[in-house]
Structure 1
Amino acid sequence: MNEHALASLVEPILATAGLELDRMEIVRAGKRSVLRFYLDGDGPQGQGPSLDEIAEATRAISVALDDSPAVGNAPYTLEVSSRGVSRPLTEAKHFRRNTGRLVTLTVADGSLSGRILGADDEAVALDVDGTVRSVALADITHAVVTAELRKDVPGDDDADEEE
């Protein structure tokens, strides 16, 4: 299977849905291949695609693959998901889509952790222990979201309230 042909087939479908192809993997699994498409996008609240958007995209990709010569007659399994929280943040849009989340950045003089307040094409604003710090995207060598187990997630209407 040709990765370029598959990407060319899928990207217009995703663009119509307001999504982006973050990456794609083709893995041989015996006589079949596993096609993994990882999607990204702003989503309904600007923080990545929703499960409904991923499900709709999966259906559209499946139909397109079935109707396309890009996969030929080779058997395959389709897997579609979001880009994942463990993926490094590498572009301004990744930081913007993770506003409010705790991140750990590696920069030339070490690392720092803080909550993303916002981002533009040049820098990311972090709350580092109550102090706002601006870090140029060009200075960041590695950035990942830090998983948090919290009871009081801002904006989570289902969070338990203290009585």
Structure 2
Amino acid sequence: MDISSRITELAAPAAQAAGLVVEAVDVTAAGKRSRVFVTVDLPETETGSADLDRIAEAARLIGAALDEADVPSTPYVLEVSTPGTDRPLTERRHFLRARTRLVELRLDEGTVTGRLRDLDGDAVVIDVEGEERRLELGQIRSGRIVVELKRLGEE
């Protein structure tokens, strides 16, 4: 088992105890130490963003789990963060997490921008200028969240 997989195995229950899930683990050399970068996110059933308290709690619990298992066995720096709004939407769970957000989806026949309302099976339900459209995940070549300065429901 490689080091990233072992860290993921240890970090997942710790993140879950903080109400988060491990999205990715990246381990790189940083001088005499290793840099362990763990990306966490809210579970796919939740919308919104992970708050700093949950991220800090996950970092504390992940660090304790790694130290207890002595993984990695050399000095390391642990960084825990969220994927951010620039994460591409590539998997079903990414689309679930993006519900209520304005998204831009690239299809074979062009680009669609609208508010992601829900997922129904393997289709996204998107509101495009007041018209509901259903797009199968297989039709979507790439997707991204459009950063809004004013969110839905805010005045």
Which of the five TM-score ranges fits, normalised by the shorter chain?
Answer: 0.7 to 0.9
Q: Post-superposition shift, 1:106? A: 1.0
| Superposed CA RMSD | 2.1
CA contact (8 A) 1:106 1:140 kept: yes
Q: Post-superposition shift, 1:48? A: 4.3
Match status 1:59 vs 2:41: no
Q: Choose between structure 1 and 2 for higher RCO, CA contacts under 8 A separated by at least 6 residues.
A: 2
CA contact (8 A) 1:102 1:146 kept: yes
Higher mean C-alpha displacement, 109-118 vs 17-26: 17-26
After TM superposition, the structure 1 = structure 2 runs for residues 1-163 of structure 1, keeping only pairs within 5 Å, are 2-42=3-43, 46-72=47-73, 74-150=74-150, 153-156=151-154
Q: Post-superposition shift, 1:58? A: 0.6
Q: Quick one: structure 1 residues 55 and 120, their matched pair in 2 at CA, closer, same or farther if it must change by over 3 Å?
A: farther
Show CA shifts across 1:49-92 (max 9, x none).
Answer: 332221111110111112222211x1111110112111111223
Q: Quick one: structure 1 residues 48 and 121, their matched pair in 2 at CA, closer, same or farther if it must change by over 3 Å?
A: farther
State the percentage of identical aligned residues: 37
Count of residue pairs the alignment pairs up: 154
Show CA shifts across 1:21-59 (max 9, x none).
Answer: 111111211111111000122389533433222111111
Measured in 2, the distance between the counterparts of 1:77 and 1:144 equals 30
In structure 2, stretches of 5+ residues that fail to align are none
Q: Quick one: structure 1 residues 92 and 120, their matched pair in 2 at CA, closer, same or farther if it must change by over 3 Å?
A: farther
In structure 1, stretches of 5+ residues that fail to align are none
SS of the residue 1:100 aligns to: coil
What's the TM-score once normalised by structure 1's chain length? 0.84
Measured in 1, the distance between the counterparts of 2:130 and 2:44 equals 29
Q: Quick one: structure 1 residues 90 and 155, their matched pair in 2 at CA, closer, same or farther if it must change by over 3 Å?
A: same
What's the TM-score once normalised by structure 2's chain length? 0.88
